[in-house]
Amino acid sequence: MTQPRRQLNLLDVICINVGIVIGAGIFESTPFIASNTSGPVYLIALWITGGVAALLGALCYAELTTTLPRHGGEYAFLSEAYGKNAGFLFAWADFWIIRPGNIGSMAFVFANYFQQLCGITPTIQTTLVCALGSLAALTATNLLGVQMGKWTQNLLTLTKLLGIAIIIVTGLLLLPAANVGGAVLEPPTPQSLSAHSLAMILIMFSYGGWNEMSNVAAEMHNPRRTIVWGLVGSAVTVAAVYVLANIAFIRALGFNGMVHSTAVATDVMAIRFGSPGRILISLLICVSSLGAMNGTLFTGPRIYYALGCDHGVFRWLGQWNVSLGVPARALLLLSIVTASMLAVFGVYPNGFSRLVEFTAPVFWGFFFFVSIAVFVLRRRPCETEPYRVPGGPIVPAIFCLMSAGMTYTGIRRAIEVRAWEAVWSVGILTIGLALVLYWWYRQAGKNGLPSKVRNL
């Protein structure tokens, strides 16, 4: 079976992580997040909390990835800690729920802003066509090879960072403060626990993706150094960007103006630059969405390649195209599933938010088990010399509690709003669990276990 070559350096993996994390969430959902908090101090505190959670998670992933510098990230961690069936269940959920949902949500955002740039009146049909077109274009780019995929990602990430830097500088330095004193001094508006929970779900969705570079560990030069600095560096970079951007929004528009804005970054740039500022923001959001989609398409197929290498029934996925340097079969299949999901959710005008509800509970549920895997794998001998999270068990324990809290929050939110999307995701996960139990039952029979066990 062919194997990948080490072709990714530190800049590549940071661009992968940052490009995936900084999608359109900071532009699309920031006013809604602010409306579900009790004031600017609470808002900034929640964004900092999200950044701390991402950094703690990055430290845990640095230890896990240097312990198991293989393809597949969470798939490899869960398989080693709990057995191959646990790894399969994650790959199943990632393939049918997490990754298509994340790619699809960014595709909808790209479609909305691309239509604005082109002067197209958005309809369900035109939005779906634009979303599918962006998916097809990025799939074709990644099929051209790992070099084309990584350079596309680097360009998109550096471009979006430059654009966001312009927004931050404009809001902090080039505009007079707009009602900042009033926004800070006005009595906080009480918000329910449910509102704060929704704000935290959306913030953590905006931080989602800092773990993605663990999927390409087998393709990194100098893995130990690249993994540690890549994970920590990207987490710190994203947190700094998000916190500074929100401070700039509050300073330029005031907290109330931010809450009532329908396009917060656009409003900031329009104050200083007028119509050209609006065009720049629409273009930046398109680039940000494409960067998040491309990075997720780049890393995801490595999970299914690893699955194919370990499970005979999926062996056809474990084929590496040597000439292109990509798992082409896994990439094509992921794109087909994502296109199908776009077609299903695209019939609704709020496809973006529906896909967020679809992925959140499952996504954080697996993070919880990954955080426990840190403790499990520490007890086993390791052939490499892994990075160890500072603080002993404290940091992994905190990340474990945060993951459990976000899982509970996502489930409770889905129950409160009766989100049928969450029911779909649970149903898909149940099918995967049924397959695991079926394989376990067959293996139990082959191993000649007692009839009472076989008949469970």
User: CA separation (Å) from 177 to 255, 265, 429?
Assistant: 11, 15, 49
Dihedral Cα 386, 387, 390, 396, nearest 10 deg: -70
Q: What is the mean pLDDT of residues 278-303?
A: 91
Q: How many CA atoms lie within 13 A of 138 on its CB side?
A: 33
pLDDT recorded at residue 353: 65
Place of tokens 């508006």: 189
In sequence order, which residues have a C-beta less than 8 Å from that of residue 160 and are 6 or more positions away? 19, 22, 284, 287, 288, 291
Question: Which CA distances in Å does 254 have to 33, 128, 246, 268?
Answer: 15, 35, 11, 11
Higher per-residue pLDDT: 348 or 269: 269
Q: Which pLDDT score is estimated for 166?
A: 93
Confidence category of residue 169, pLDDT binned at 50, 70, 90: very high
CB atoms within 10 A of CB 137: 12
Cα–Cα distance, 22 to 19 (Å, whole number): 6
Quick check: 68 pLDDT over 70? yes
The Cα 108–Cα 220 span in angstroms is 32
If you average pLDDT over every residue of the chain, what do you get? Answer: 85
Confidence at 262, pLDDT banded by 50, 70, 90: confident
Cα–Cα nearest to 250, from 259, 242, 241: 259
Q: CA-to-CA distance for 95 and 72, rounded, in angstroms?
A: 12
What distance in Å separates the CA atoms of residue 246 and residue 101, rounded to the nearest whole number?
A: 26
| Confidence at residue 184, expressed as pLDDT on a 0 to 100 scale | 41
In DSSP terms, 220 is beta-bridged to 8
Look up residue 423 and give its two tokens: 């029911």
Q: Regarding the domain with residue range 10-454, which homologous superfamily does it belong to in the CATH classification?
A: Amino acid/polyamine transporter I (1.20.1740.10)
Mean pLDDT, residues 392-402? 90
Q: What does the block give as tokens for 10?
A: 């530190």
Listed by start position, the domains of the chain span: 10-454
Q: Is 431 exposed, middle or buried (0-12, 13-18, 19+ CB in 10 A)?
A: exposed
In the structure encoding, which two tokens stand for residue 159, read together?
């471009």
Residue 411's SS3 state is helix
Average pLDDT over residues 276-289: 90
Mean pLDDT lowest among 92-106, 277-291, 311-325:
311-325
Residue pair 374/389 in contact by the 8 Å Cβ criterion: yes
Which has more confidence, 48 or 323?
48
Q: What is the pLDDT of residues 354-382, one digit of tens each?
A: 676 667 667 778 889 999 999 999 988 87
Is the pLDDT assigned to residue 172 strictly greater than 90? yes
Residue 241 pLDDT > 90, yes or no?
A: yes
Q: Which pLDDT score, from 0 to 100, does residue 178 have?
A: 66
Confidence check: pLDDT of 449 > 70: no
| Per-residue confidence (pLDDT) for residue 278, from 0 to 100 | 87
Please compute the mean of the pLDDT values over residues 83-105 and round it to a whole number.
90
Q: Which two tokens stand for residue 443?
A: 């293996």
* Better-predicted residue by pLDDT, 437 or 323: 437
Whether 29 has a pLDDT exceeding 50, the answer reads: yes
- CB within 8 A of 257, min separation 6: which ones? 178, 179, 267
The whole-angstrom separation of Cα 89 and Cα 373 is 15
Instruction: Please give the structure tokens belonging to residue 406.
Output: 């976000």
Note whether 292 and 279 are within 8 A (CB).
no
pLDDT for the residue numbered 186:
45
The band of 187, judged by pLDDT with boundaries at 50, 70 and 90, is: very low
If you average pLDDT over residues 169-185, what whole number do you get?
Answer: 67
Predicted pLDDT at 357: 65
279: tokens are 């065009």
Indicate yes or no: pTM above 0.75.
yes
DSSP letter for each residue of 420-456: HHHHHHHHHHHHHHHHHHHHHHHHHHHTT--HHHHT-
What's the average model confidence in pLDDT over 201-220? 85
Write the DSSP assignment of 124-177 as a string of letters. Answer: HHHHHHHHHHHHHHHHHHHHT-HHHHHHHHHHHHHHHHHHHHHHHHIIIIIS--
User: Which of 152-166, 175-189, 200-214, 370-384: highest mean pLDDT?
Assistant: 152-166
**Could you tell me the pLDDT band of residue 3, with boundaries at 50, 70 and 90?**
low
Closest CA to 360 of 300, 405, 302, 303: 405
pLDDT in the model for residue 2: 57
